[in-house]
Amino acid sequence: MAGQVRYHAPGALARMLNRAVGSLTRRGLSLWGTRVLSVRGRMSGEWRSTPVNVLTVAGRDYLVSPRGRTQWVRNLRAAGEGELRVGRRVRRVRATELPDDEKPELLRAYLARWGWEVGRFLEGVDARSDEAALRRVAPECPIFRVATIG
């Protein structure tokens, strides 16, 4: 799970769009299920925030990192919990990283919803891909199940 997962750094356009989406979400406008994830930095202890897509499958919520081992992934692994925010609504969550064998159907669901946005990071895999293709990219795509604390 925590092996050599690639990281797809966001380019200038992606950083600009992340800022815009994050700003709208902080103001209470969720676009396609976006939330602002806030996690304490693993080194600084300071709060770090980024927009994420929350995937809900069978009543459970998941955070998927199609870009690989991003800073939010590293921080969430270290902290084990964070906050998901839309406007003034804040949800404290505990995160559990999933093993690769639990990822294929979640990846399929994530790509069905946001493939247009993130598909380029998963080497030609999309929601119609077979199980073997989804299993091939699973190690490069961290997924956390999140549950409300308190």
CATH number at residue 134: 2.30.110.10
- Domain annotation covers residue 4: no
CA distance 121 to 112: 14
> For the chain, what is the domain count?
1
Helix locations, the chain, DSSP H: 12-26, 71-79, 104-118, 131-137
Distance CA 85, CA 124 (A): 31
The domain in which residue 55 lies consists of: 12-148
Host H or E run for residue 40: strand 34-40
Residue 7 lies in a domain: no
Within-domain flag for 2: no
Does this model's pTM top 0.85? My answer is no
Classify residue 6: in a domain, yes or no: no
Q: Is 1 part of any domain?
A: no
How many angstroms separate the CA atoms of 50 and 14, rounded?
A: 12
Do the domain assignments include residue 134? yes
Q: What does the pLDDT look like over 50-106, one tens digit per residue?
A: 999 999 999 999 999 988 899 999 999 999 999 999 999 999 999 999 999 999 999
